[in-house]
Amino acid sequence: MTEVRQLRPTPDQFAYAFGGREPLLVVRPGTIVELFTEDCYAGKVTSVDDLPSEVCQFPFLNPVTGPIAVEGAEVGDTLAVHFVEITPARDLAFSSTFPHFGALTGTHQTAMLHPALEERVWRYDIDVAAGTCTFRARRSDLVIDLPLDPFHGTVGVAPAAGETIMSITPAAHGGNMDTPEMRAGVTAYFPVNVPGGLLAIGDGHARQGEGEVCGTAIESAMNTVVLVDLIKGRAPVSPRMESDSFLMTTGNTRPLEDAFRMSQSDLVGWTAELFDLELLDAYQLVSQVGLAPTGNVVDTNYTMVAKFPKSLLGIDAYEGIHQRLRAAGRDYLRHR
């Protein structure tokens, strides 16, 4: 029987970085954790009049729930994090521009002389039963029901080399990758860089386009269920994901072509290993069948995802752990 634990941080227990912190929870491999995550505004935006730059205070942005230590996780191991369920925790969610943040504005890094674009907040009504989040234009009457597609923008572990990295940054340890692929039904794989691995999760999104162009998604507190497991050794260079349909790798750096190169290079290597292909043969195969959506193009690092369709060949990554966790997740949902 799968063990089930809860993690619902008190306001002062949220973390704002990966690394440099004691675990809030210690679990055995194979444990289900029911957890709550606050939105990226730390819950401070409650109406379209709450401008994030006024109600939020740097660096208390993008709180994450955790860290969760996994017993027996040693440096070089792989944490497998299966998302069983991700459900918006409130019937309201918010999105916004933020001064000098986003893909189509000058930023701290892409420094320009323009004054900031207007800071504006959008309120979305969330209807979990109907599966919708409702966009309302602020300067006209347009209203559209968008399909819910919840995922976590920020998932990661403690970094290597003793680093402590703000929760807003995606890198080799995961973090704020903001890829919509991180949805329920997916298993994510992270390198263990410190004993216990120290998983943390946050930044729930009711939905988001690829690229997170304006800098924020439909930011939503979440009730989330994950199944946390451990693979000995085989730590990936960067986070990987697996769904029923795709193997996925990520690259988290700048410029965007380097994030692309990192994700593709890891997918070529993974494909070569899984299919016992010589490297250039794998390069060729990935070139003809892979997908390459953007994760985010707005954070301190950018994120690209590379996807290989599992339908092409029987694939048994990590000895079929995804199928096993998927089944256990479904079993949990059936019996709770």
Residues 154-173 touching a copy of itself, rule: CB under 8 A, are 160-166
Least Å distance between CB 179 and a copy of itself? 11
Task: Compute the chain's Rg from CA coordinates.
Answer: 19
Please say whether the beta carbons of 190 and 135 come within 8 A: no
Cβ atoms 290, 308 nearer than 8 A:
yes
92-96 sheet: strands from edge to edge: 92-96, 121-127, 132-136, 143-147
Q: How large is the angle between the packed helices 256-275 and 279-289, nearest 10 degrees?
A: 120
- The verdict on 80 binding a copy of itself (CB under 8 A) reads no
Residue with tokens 């059936």: 334
* Position 294, amino acid: T
Sheet with strand 302-309: strands edge to edge:
4-7, 31-37, 222-231, 78-88, 187-191, 240-242, 246-253, 302-309
78/97 with CB nearer a copy of itself: 97
Of 8 and 138, which CB lies nearer to a copy of itself in the complex structure?
A: 138
CB-based contact 198:20 (threshold 8 Å): no
- Phi, psi dihedrals of residue 253, rounded to the nearest 5°: -170, -170
Interacting residue with a copy of itself among 89, 256, 324, 328 (CB under 8 A): 256
Which residues in 45-64 contact a copy of itself (CB under 8 A)? 58-59
Tokens of 198: 């120290």
Using CB under 8 A as the binding rule, the residues of this chain from 279 to 308 that contact a copy of itself are: 279-281, 283-294, 297, 302, 304
Question: 295 vs 329, which CB is nearer to a copy of itself?
Answer: 295
Residues 234-253 that bind a copy of itself (CB under 8 A): 237, 251, 253
Site for a copy of itself in 89-148 (CB under 8 A): 95, 97, 102-106, 108-115, 117-118, 120, 122, 135, 137-140, 142, 144, 146
Q: 222's torsion region: left (phi>0), alpha (psi -120 to 50) or beta? A: beta
At closest approach, how far in Å is the CB of 166 from a copy of itself?
5
Residue 232's identity, in one-letter code, is K
Give least dist CB 287 to a copy of itself, A. 4
Question: What is the rounded distance in angstroms from the CA atom of residue 139 to the CA atom of residue 119?
Answer: 13
Nearest-approach distance from CB 30 to a copy of itself, in angstroms: 31
By C-alpha distance, which of 160, 164, 156 is closest to 21?
164
Closer to a copy of itself by CB, 82 or 207: give it.
207
Q: Answer yes or no whether residue 8 interacts with a copy of itself by CB under 8 A.
A: no
Task: Based on the shown chain and the rule CB under 8 A, indicate whether residue 16 belongs to the binding site for a copy of itself.
Answer: yes
Q: Which range touches a copy of itself (CB under 8 A), out of 37-45, 223-231, 258-266, 318-326?
A: 258-266
312 binds a copy of itself (CB under 8 A): yes
Q: How far is the CB of 3 from a copy of itself (least distance, A)?
A: 32
What does the angle CA 320 – CA 326 – CA 327 come to, to the nearest 5 degrees? 95
Footprint on residues 190-219 left by a copy of itself (CB under 8 A): 207-218
Q: Does 266 bind a copy of itself (CB under 8 A)?
A: yes
Peptide bond into 29 cis (omega under 30): no
Q: Would you state the structure tokens that stand for residue 30, as one six-digit string?
A: 């194979």
Residue 96 and residue 120 in contact, taking contact as beta carbons nearer than 8 Å = yes
Q: Which CB sits closer to a copy of itself, 24 or 225? A: 24
Q: Binding to a copy of itself by residue 1, rule CB under 8 A?
A: no
CB of 115 to a copy of itself, least distance (A): 8
Give the nearest distance from C-beta 50 to a copy of itself in angstroms.
16
Q: How far is the CB of 159 from a copy of itself (least distance, A)?
A: 9
Question: Which of 184, 174, 176 lies closest to 225 in space, CA to CA?
Answer: 184
Q: From the CB of 36, what's the least distance to a copy of itself, in Å? A: 23
